[in-house]
Chains A and B, each alone.
Chain A
Amino acid sequence: MERHFEQELDKLNKRLIKMGNLVALQVHNALEALLNCDLDLARTVIENDNKVDRLDVKIDKLCQRIFALTQPVATDLRLIMAALKMNNDLERMGDQAVNIASKVEGISEYREITGTLHMDELAGMADMIVRDVNTLIGNRNPVFVRDIFQMANLIEDKAQAISTRIFDEMMHKSEVIMVATHLLIVLTQIERIAGYSTNIAESVYFIAEGKMIKHKKTFRSGIDTLPGADMDSTVHLSDENTAEQS
């Protein structure tokens, strides 16, 4: 007999995965809109943010109800604590998607710049980390936490390299200053998306292993200490369990 409590946890898991899917789509569309200067798609992202907000509130309320009525312990306690955090991080990622989308119009005035700066590579990486995080929420396999940290580091490096090039462009072409400023803001949003992704990876690790690794620089820099360090680095989350996202 499945208990009522199990059904509540199942509902929470499904809502988190739904939230992850929704946010992944928002980020994907925002980046697509950015690369193609697609104003319609950018508007869709902005309009769809209320769906993310509504789901955010539903998940918070569900967690509150489970806490109040079932006094969870052990794995259940960790799941609900982490669910609250992951939900918050996902909602913030959704906000970053909206922020990126809101910059598309300004950037479209000088649309060649995204190609010149190879923004597509960075956008691809951001898109991938969000999809990977979503898969991680579904399978909660701590082995893949390492992948998220690695990808976040790569995104940070890439964003830094692009921002250096943007400053070069700004110094040499005064006409790009406005657009370049928008792009610098977009870079910050993408870096934040990577940051929220690592937060979610830490939450998954907490659920699975019962250990808090947030703020631990040794875990961040010495990712070899995480489970899965000996794994083939070509194995990637996106190849796995995509069915769980549906």
Chain B
Amino acid sequence: MKEFKIRTQDLTLFYGEKMALNSISMDIPEKEVTAFIGPSGCGKSTFLRTLNRMNDLIPNVSITGEVMIDGVNIFDKQIDVVNLRKKIGMVFQKSNPFAKSIFENVAYGPRINGINNRTELQDIVETSLKKAFIWEEVKDRLHDSALGLSGGQQQRMCIARTLAVEPEIILMDEPASALDPISTAKIEELIFELKRNYTIVIVTHNMQQAARVSDYTAFFYLGELIEHGKTRKIFTTPDKKQTEDYITGRFG
């Protein structure tokens, strides 16, 4: 029986007057991939960003309910948000390499965490790049600018940068939507490998990608969680008609 890494209870979020999430209760299992799907504006990215309190940065946001990670409510006053985000890595739609070398990009997080020993940093960089399946492609040009990498390589380097700070959870917001099919396949393979050690939550508009990479799928619509269950069930025999209509393209 899998443990639940993340549990939300009646999570409601308003942007000003507008309700973006309506009482979402969801259990996200540890070391599995959970995909969030739904039409634009359904709240899936908002929900994802709530899991590492990224929404704190947006003005006029009000949140009620709980997000429990390893049994601790991340909205508790004593929670250190920086420490929380160390535990939860994030990968965005558009790769966002710093204008630094590949090495420095990956070493950036560990350096901020106080690791300055060169050998130790080299080990972390190599291990992280290997975990992100990009080491072989960049090992001879670690000190070249990361901006010179292809889009797919940049995205995998960003994943390596995320892994370098040893998170337990990785949130991915449409990580392959700007990539070609080959780079997308590499990212998907990477996700499959990473779930051995990490809890992964991915937002995707690509239904087939959700079907291919995830163990669980949650379907959101108009800020509500319509259905959440095993991916193989959702994509073969969903319980809710709205889910069926959405995944078969008959929505609206």
Contacts and interface: CB of A to CB of B under 8 A. Distances in A.
Interface string A90-106: 00000000000000000
Interface of A: 3, 5, 71-78, 210-211
Contact of B235 (A3, A5, A73): A73
Nearest to B235: A73
Contact of B247 (A3, A5, A73, A78): A73
B46 to A, nearest CB: 25
Query: Which residue, of B208, B235, B237, has the highest number of chain A Cβ atoms within 10 A?
Result: B237
A155 B247 CA distance: 42
B207 A73 contact: yes
A78 B236 contact: yes
B224 interface: no
A189 to B, nearest CB: 35
A77 B249 contact: no
B208 A74 contact: no
Contact of B236 (A3, A5, A71, A74): A74
The 6 closest A-B pairs by CB, nearest first: A210-B237, A73-B235, A73-B247, A74-B244, A76-B248, A74-B248
Contacts of B236: 73-74, 77-78, 210
B247 A74 contact: yes
A4 to B, nearest CB: 11
B195 to A, nearest CB: 22
Contacts of A5: 249
A78 B235 CA distance: 10
A44 B248 CA distance: 43
B211 interface: yes
B249 A75 contact: no
B110 interface: no
Contacts of B244: 74-75
A74 B231 CA distance: 11
A76 B211 CA distance: 15
Interface in B193-252: 207-208, 211, 235-238, 244, 247-249
Interface in B33-82: none
A143 to B, nearest CB: 19
A73 B244 CA distance: 9
B6 to A, nearest CB: 26
A210 B247 CA distance: 16
Given A3-B249, A5-B249, A74-B235, 9 more contacts: A71-B208, A73-B211, A73-B247, A74-B244, A74-B247, A74-B248, A75-B248, A210-B237, A211-B237
Contacts of A211: 237
Contacts of B207: 73
Nearest to A210: B237
A196 B249 CA distance: 33
Contacts of A73: 207, 211, 235-236, 247-248
B212 to A, nearest CB: 10
Contacts of A3: 249
A48 to B, nearest CB: 37
Nearest to B237: A210
Contacts of B237: 74, 78, 210-211
| Most B Cβ at <10 Å: residue of A71, A75, A77 | A75
B248 A72 contact: yes
A210 B236 CA distance: 7
A74 B219 CA distance: 14
18 contacts: A3-B249, A5-B249, A71-B208, A72-B248, A73-B207, A73-B211, A73-B235, A73-B247, A73-B248, A74-B235, A74-B238, A74-B244, A74-B247, A74-B248, A76-B248, A77-B236, A210-B237, A211-B237
Nearest to A6: B250
Contacts of B235: 73-74, 77
A3 B248 CA distance: 11
B20 to A, nearest CB: 27
A193 B244 CA distance: 35
A72 B244 CA distance: 11
